[in-house]
Amino acid sequence: EFRRFSLERSKPGKFEEFYGLLQHVHKIPNVDVLVGYTDIHGDLLPINNDDNYHKAVSTANPLLRIFIQRKEDADYSAFGTDTMTRKKNVLSNVLRPDNHKKKPHIVISMPQDFRPVSSIIDVDILPETHRRVRLYKYGTDKPLGFYIRDGSSVRVTPHGLEKVPGIFISRLVPGGLAQSTGLLAVNDEVLEVNGIEVSGKSLDQVTDMMIANSRNLIITVRPANQRNNVVRNSRTSGSSGQSTESSLPSSTPNILGSLLQGEEESDEEDIIIEDSGEPQQIPKAAPTSESIESLSQIELLHESTQNGFLPSSEMNLNHSAGSISMEYEVPEPGHKPIEEDGTIITL
């Protein structure tokens, strides 16, 4: 069911009031629901307290799309970054949870209140002298903000210590992602970029690799400061790290590889503008037989974005075979607020 109604942007009020309002307009006063909204990046994010409620209202431009699910059959996995693009059929999941029974999710906590951020990953599979860092640029305006340089490091080899050329972090830009997350530091040695070893590659090659992966950059480093290493168990706590200096376990690239494979889906969806229309993300090619069908659907969808927010297009989405992408909601500047009878949120 769809409802449109208006709210005053300057005075959104409290979450409880809003929750009550939703229950009221949908005439479901005693049903527990999960409330979510799509943010400007197309992510489905939850609304469950005053703060994220206010955030949601402030991002409306001018429409705010809100999704309501019954709590008992909610699909928590639908929330989070890239949800609207990764899961092509996320809407149908949300709106028709029964379509999605085959994957029961273990709910550890309430809907993920936060999108993934830059982090240290793969702690369990890496030698503890190494650190694998994911710089998650998506959804922030911050620059990656670091520089790399040539240098040399000492390795333990079967023939004793050997000086080998290496790539190092040379500088962090204040306020950049690298500096603000604190995950990288000057003089950290870069060992891998998105699962590919950098040894034998020139500074320019590594630069190009990092830039090519900049939207989801995973760097494995040997931190210059080895004192903050994660200590996994008491057995190795005494070691100063030399034992693992030699090289990465051979299995890690594969593990990371599988990790990247999953990531592949989410990264860099190109955008197409057809006939000076709205920008859309380019979908993956559908199986050939369906291509014509999906074409017509896309065009319908396309129309709908120009005309506003019409239920008919939503219906189309619901019926689609999961082969089409989500629309990219970028209302044109100066787009007139839609005035229509019924339940419209005008902000």
List residues near another protein by CB under 8 A.
137, 143-150, 170-171, 194-196, 201-215, 217, 257, 260, 267-276, 279, 282-286, 288, 291-292, 294-295, 298
Q: Can you tell me the distance from the alpha carbon of 46 to that of 264, in angstroms, rounded to the nearest whole number?
A: 25
Nearest distance from C-beta of residue 104 to another protein, angstroms: 31
Nearer to another protein, 267 or 340 (CB): 267
How far are the Cα atoms of 31, 79, 140 from residue 112, in angstroms, in the given order? 21, 7, 18
| Residues 83, 86, 92, 93, CA torsion sign | negative
Q: Can you tell me the distance from the alpha carbon of 209 to that of 235, in angstroms, rounded to the nearest whole number?
A: 37
Nearer to another protein, 22 or 186 (CB): 186
Nearer to another protein, 125 or 196 (CB): 196
Nearest distance from C-beta of residue 270 to another protein, angstroms: 5
Nearer to another protein, 110 or 292 (CB): 292
Which of 67, 54, 51, 66 is closest to 10 using CA atoms?
54
Pair of tokens at residue 133: 């860092």
Nearer to another protein, 128 or 269 (CB): 269
Nearest distance from C-beta of residue 157 to another protein, angstroms: 24
Nearer to another protein, 3 or 137 (CB): 137
Assess contact for 112 and 200: CB atoms under 8 A. no
Nearest distance from C-beta of residue 202 to another protein, angstroms: 8
Nearest distance from C-beta of residue 217 to another protein, angstroms: 8
Nearer to another protein, 77 or 280 (CB): 280
Nearest distance from C-beta of residue 253 to another protein, angstroms: 9
Q: Can you tell me the distance from the alpha carbon of 95 to that of 60, in angstroms, rounded to the nearest whole number?
A: 21
The strand pairing partners of 220, in sequence order, are 132, 192
Q: Can you tell me the distance from the alpha carbon of 80 to that of 95, in angstroms, rounded to the nearest whole number?
A: 16
Nearest distance from C-beta of residue 81 to another protein, angstroms: 15
How far are the Cα atoms of 40, 149, 230, 238, 239 from residue 234, in angstroms, in the given order? 46, 35, 11, 8, 10
Nearer to another protein, 211 or 231 (CB): 211
Assess contact for 129 and 224: CB atoms under 8 A. no
Q: Can you tell me the distance from the alpha carbon of 16 to that of 23, in angstroms, rounded to the nearest whole number?
A: 11
- State the DSSP code for 121: E
Nearest distance from C-beta of residue 238 to another protein, angstroms: 35
Assess contact for 245 and 155: CB atoms under 8 A. yes
Q: Can you tell me the distance from the alpha carbon of 130 to that of 138, in angstroms, rounded to the nearest whole number?
A: 24
Q: Can you tell me the distance from the alpha carbon of 232 to that of 130, in angstroms, rounded to the nearest whole number?
A: 13
